[in-house]
């Protein structure tokens, strides 16, 4: 029996595949490589394809004897979703419905769903718990909430065993599995690209929020801690416990300016930046109450100190850079 990871060649996906494989589980990665990178899919079996292709997904589930699905595949950027809502609802909602159709047709009833803190509005200085009123500020957040809301109905109608994990802001890296700083939307890789690779300055959207330095505050979680939450969640659904929604965050916030300063310290180079007005869809602060994840999964972050996040992200960037340089100077065969 194996675990199917949709979007398994992406940032969270490849770290999760690594951890699950190292835990002794058989892994199958399904990714259309829109944003994922094939070179990071080194654990288990890789299948190129889309979650909306029901026939393909059914054949993968059947041929690889899949027993559970870790569903990470999604369009996943708040700012981008503001201008392309159709793409986000099509991929994230319609695609997930197709995946569920394929799973149920093949008798697979265990799902861990990657949701997002974007379902929340704004926490200010307090921590948000899972029972908060939900008011997504973007099509991305709305698409994630739509799936959260349909999962209990699938549990009732089809016996689906599920867990939805509201990831807060994934960051850091292991080895060379970090994101490409030149193309990433995330703040840490962008800051690394600006400071160490001569990339464009980081754009700070909003400097007058009611936060300690005026810039937006988020809860950053090391990607390895997120991967551990996925492994624990798969164990939870295997046990057949009732469906639930859990925050996966640290319970502390870091501002955009603090991220820029931390990358500058770790990389020993100042990060250039440009200040702008706030963007539509952005909240001033979102920080997790993680107590329920500890209660149900026994999960706590162990690698999410900001110094560790920035150091591992920079180490990953330099590892990838050395690999690319080695390719350039390697003799042709």
In the chain, what are the domains?
2-172+220-248 (3.40.50.720), 187-216+252-286+303-328 (3.90.25.10)
Reported as a single tens digit per residue, the pLDDT across 215-274 is: 999 999 999 999 999 999 999 999 999 999 999 999 999 999 999 999 999 999 999 999
The DSSP secondary-structure symbol of 38 reads G
Question: For residue 152, what pLDDT is reported?
Answer: 98
CA distance 331 to 256: 43
Collapsing DSSP to helix, strand or coil, 163 comes out as strand
CA distance 119 to 121: 7
Collapsing DSSP to helix, strand or coil, 272 comes out as coil
CA distance 147 to 160: 13
Residue numbers in the chain where pLDDT is lower than 70: 327-328, 330-333
Question: For residue 45, what pLDDT is reported?
Answer: 96
To the query of whether residue 140 is one of the catalytic residues in this protein, the response is yes
pTM score: 0.95
**Is residue 317 within 8 Å of residue 178, measured between CB atoms?**
yes
CA distance 10 to 29: 10
SS3 sequence of 64-119 = CCEEEEEECCCCCCHHHHHHCHHHHHHHHHHHHHHHHHHHHHCCCCEEEEEEEHHH
- 68 φψ region: left (φ > 0), alpha (ψ -120 to 50), beta (else): beta
Question: For residue 278, what pLDDT is reported?
Answer: 92
**Is residue 311 within 8 Å of residue 266, measured between CB atoms?**
yes
CA distance 254 to 252: 7
CA distance 193 to 332: 29
Reported as a single tens digit per residue, the pLDDT across 226-241 is: 999 999 999 999 999 9
- 162 closest CA partner among 146, 170, 150, 173: 150
Spatial neighbors of 181 by CB under 8 A, at least 6 apart, are 189, 190, 192, 193, 196, 197, 199, 317
One DSSP character per residue, 132-153 reads SPP--SSHHHHHHHHHHHHHHH
CA distance 297 to 1: 22
Q: Catalytic residue, from 120, 140, 154, 236: name it.
A: 140
CA distances from 133 to 10, 120, 146 (A): 30, 8, 14
- 115 closest CA partner among 165, 61, 63, 173: 165
CA torsion 224→46→64→152, rounded to 10°?
50
């Amino acid at each position: 029996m194996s675990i199917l990871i949709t979007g398994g060649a992406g940032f969270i996906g490849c770290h999760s595949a690594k951890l699950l494989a190292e835990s002794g589980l058989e892994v199958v990665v399904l990714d259309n490589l829109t944003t994922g990178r094939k070179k990071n899919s080194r654990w288990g079996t890789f299948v190129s394809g889309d979650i909306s292709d029901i026939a393909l997904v059914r054949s993968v589930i059947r041929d690889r004897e899949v027993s559970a699905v870790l569903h990470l595949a999604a369009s996943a950027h708040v700012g981008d979703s503001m201008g392309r809502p159709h793409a986000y609802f099509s991929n994230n909602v319609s695609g997930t419905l197709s995946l569920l159709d394929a799973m149920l047709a093949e008798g697979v009833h265990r799902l861990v769903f990657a949701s997002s803190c974007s379902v929340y509005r704004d926490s200010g200085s307090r921590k948000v718990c899972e029972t908060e009123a939900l008011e997504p500020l973007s099509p991305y957040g709305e698409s994630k909430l739509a799936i959260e809301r349909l999962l209990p109905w699938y549990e009732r109608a089809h016996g689906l065993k599920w867990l939805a994990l509201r990831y807060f802001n994934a960051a850091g890296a292991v080895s060379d599995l970090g994101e490409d700083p030149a193309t990433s939307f995330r703040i840490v890789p962008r800051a690394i690209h600006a400071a160490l690779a001569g990339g464009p300055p980081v754009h700070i959207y909003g400097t007058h929020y009611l936060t300690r330095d005026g810039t937006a505050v988020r809860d950053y979680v090391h990607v390895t801690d997120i991967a551990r939450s996925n492994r624990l969640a798969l164990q939870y659904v295997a046990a057949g416990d009732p469906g639930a929604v859990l925050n996966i965050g640290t319970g502390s916030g870091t501002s955009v300016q603090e991220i820029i300063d931390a990358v500058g310290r770790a990389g020993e180079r100042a990060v250039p930046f440009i200040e702008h007005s706030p963007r539509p869809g952005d909240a001033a602060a979102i920080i997790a109450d993680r107590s329920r994840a500890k209660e149900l999964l026994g999960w706590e972050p162990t690698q999410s100190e900001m110094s560790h996040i920035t150091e591992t992200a920079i180490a990953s960037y330099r590892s990838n850079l050395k690999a690319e340089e080695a390719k350039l100077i390697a003799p042709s065969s």
